[in-house]
Structure 1
Amino acid sequence: MKTFAIGLFVCYLCLGEMKEWPKHTICKLNDIEATYQSCDPLQDIGLSINPCTINLHEHMNITIAVVLRHDINFLFFRLIASYNGQKLLTQEVIVCERTLQAYSFCGKRKGDFVFYHHRLRVEVPPILKGHFNVSLMMFNEDNIIVACADLALNIL
């Protein structure tokens, strides 16, 4: 019976190959919709941004959750932002180094669960209507993706 159950489970996994992770809704109101999708082909992530409003407050809360597939001794962060298809910003930052473990997730090992919550000060001009895309990528010392997400913000 166990062999049958294991065989059925393996067949279930092989039935369809997932091409991409589903889109997750961060928030949806009358005038704003924010979604994200993992761009790492092997793993999904959890992401939350609050408050969900067109009128940005002075502070926002961001939460990221992921199970690590690789160690984080060194972490490099890349952000690419665009508005209606036009690139606005590219930013690259070293977040963790072997000698400088600035964040709680620095030094975490493969298989660890990372839950990072941060209160972020927002200093942006009034938001225009349109479509914003933000691509967030994090790489370790071997240039392997640790976490990756594409965010979309539509303001009506």
Structure 2
Amino acid sequence: MKTSNALVLILVLLSISASTEWPTHTVCKEDNLEIHYKSCDPQQDFAFSIDRCSDVTTHTFNIRAAMVLRHSIKELYVKADLIIGGKTVLSYSDTLCEPGHSQLIFCGKKKGEHLYYEGPVTLGIKEIPQGEYTVSARLTNEDHVTVACADFTVKNYLDYY
């Protein structure tokens, strides 16, 4: 019995390490709006959720995100691209953490610390664009090392009018 349990454990570990991609996670799925994400960092996945898809269409909504930091955050930069049909149509970048000016509560966290955020997020847009597209988001630190990254697939068929 112990040998068969050990064999199953070894097979599971081998199949996990043989995988080259993280799984696709569902953020939310309702009638006319679906959001999924997949970590694009080959070494780390993370947890991200919202309560309801319909919350995303409001100006501010609550999220939950968690991960263990593989790199310290003295400075943190975000870059996001809107990709439609394989082409980047819009890019956004911003500084989130820098000495003396930090927008986020986890600025200054060290490698190995657990990062958990539960609270409001404001996108700064009035509506989520309609259609099917990808939002690629990457967080990098002062050493230009990826802290976290994900590709969000959005399918929005909401009627705003």
Q: TM-score w.r.t. structure 1 length?
A: 0.81
Following TM superposition, by how much is the alpha carbon of 1:125 offset from its aligned partner in structure 2, in angstroms? Answer: 3.9
Following TM superposition, by how much is the alpha carbon of 1:81 offset from its aligned partner in structure 2, in angstroms? Answer: 1.2
In the other structure, the counterpart of 2:135 is 134
In the other structure, the counterpart of 1:146 is 147
8 Å contact kept, 2:67–2:114? yes
In the other structure, the counterpart of 1:95 is 96
Cα separation, 2, equivalents of 1:54 and 1:97: 30
8 Å contact kept, 1:51–1:61? no
In the other structure, the counterpart of 2:126 is 124
Following superposition of structure 1 onto structure 2, how do residues 59-98 of structure 1 map, counting pairs within 5 Å?
59-98=60-99
For structure 2, the residue ranges without an aligned partner over 5 or more in a row are none
In the other structure, the counterpart of 1:41 is 42
Following superposition of structure 1 onto structure 2, how do residues 16-55 of structure 1 map, counting pairs within 5 Å?
16-53=17-54
- Figure out how many residues of one structure are paired with residues of the other and give that number: 151
8 Å contact kept, 2:57–2:127? no
Higher mean alpha-carbon deviation, 49-58 vs 73-82, is at 49-58
Following superposition of structure 1 onto structure 2, how do residues 101-112 of structure 1 map, counting pairs within 5 Å?
101-112=102-113
Aligned-residue RMSD, C-alpha: 2.7
Amino acid at match of 1:119: P
Cα separation, 2, equivalents of 1:28 and 1:133: 16
Higher mean alpha-carbon deviation, 53-62 vs 41-50, is at 53-62
Q: TM-score w.r.t. structure 2 length?
A: 0.79
Cα separation, 2, equivalents of 1:70 and 1:6: 34
Q: Within the alignment, does 1:13 sit opposite 2:17 as a pair?
A: no
Following TM superposition, by how much is the alpha carbon of 1:119 offset from its aligned partner in structure 2, in angstroms? Answer: 1.7
For structure 1, the residue ranges without an aligned partner over 5 or more in a row are none
Cα separation, 2, equivalents of 1:97 and 1:41: 26
Cα separation, 2, equivalents of 1:107 and 1:126: 32
Cα 1:85–1:40 change in 2 (3 A) is: same
Amino acid at match of 1:140: N
Aligned-pair identity (%) = 33
More helix by share: 2
Cα 1:61–1:87 change in 2 (3 A) is: same
Deviations 1:103-134 (A, max 9, x none): 21111011111112342345324742x21211
- Name the SS for the 1:53 alignment partner: helix
Higher mean alpha-carbon deviation, 19-28 vs 87-96, is at 87-96
Higher mean alpha-carbon deviation, 46-55 vs 90-99, is at 46-55
